[in-house]
Amino acid sequence: MWRIGINDWTGSEPAPDAHSWWARSGKSAFAERLARTSGRSVAFIATATAGDEEMRERIERHRTERPANWLTIEEPLDMVAAVRQGAKVADVIILDCMTLWLTNWLFRDGSIDVDGEMSRPGELFNEEVAREVERLVSAIQELPDSKSLLIVSNEVGLGLVPDTPLGRVYRDILGRINQRIATEADLAYLLVAGLPIELKHLQASYPW
């Protein structure tokens, strides 16, 4: 059985599950708390990259705050390889986060410049990302039942429509990623002001 962490809202159990959250909502802390309380071995997949000094300090601070016996796997792009590597050494795997992974993936080959100008139609990016996400889902489905996966992401679709083409493409793609992962998850949590709301038990039933 595997479960996932996805989104947050701030205006931005032995085995863990799925979660949905926004920036500074407490989603990463919640995923880490689930892993800690499981009493099992943990691998932490970090997708952040150090683009400036502040980010380098943030990454280092997060690294030192995690338990010393957790394995940290720093991988900005290849989530399939990272999940498989984590599953070889740990029972609980945290993937934090899909939001930064998508940013890394979109900017990986120069198709988007530093000003956010896209050299290809947004729909092509969506199709390429969808294929990559399906690769990840397949890798997750191959995990033994003894493994648990927590995937952290951000919910970026609850605010205003972005005023740039890239912003709108990014919002749409991440929304589809979150839907795909939440569909596969055993549990899906939305974090609001640090409080987890489990979504699957709240979803509406059809009247027919």
**Residues classed as catalytic:** 62
**Of all residues in the chain, what percent are helix, strand and coil, respectively (each to 5)?**
40, 20, 40
Q: Is residue 65 a known part of a binding site?
A: yes
Three-state DSSP class for residue 189: strand
**Distance (Å, whole) CA 40 – CA 54:** 32
In sequence order, what are the beta bridge partners of 96? 46, 152
Q: Is residue 63 a known part of a binding site?
A: yes
Three-state DSSP class for residue 5: coil
**Distance (Å, whole) CA 49 – CA 43:** 18
Contact, 24 vs 7, CB < 8 A? no
Distances (CA, A) of 76 to 130, 186, 194, 197: 17, 25, 26, 28
Q: Is residue 48 a known part of a binding site?
A: yes
**Distance (Å, whole) CA 47 – CA 81:** 13
Query: Which residue, chain included where needed, has tokens 């191959």?
Result: 142
Q: Is residue 99 a known part of a binding site?
A: no
Q: Is residue 64 a known part of a binding site?
A: yes
- Residue 10 tokens read as 């701030």
Backbone dihedral angles phi then psi of residue 149, each to the nearest 5 degrees: -125, 130
Q: Is residue 103 a known part of a binding site?
A: no
Q: Is residue 132 a known part of a binding site?
A: no
Known binding positions:
46-48, 63-66, 74, 96
* Residues flagged as binding site for GTP: 46-48, 63-66, 74, 96
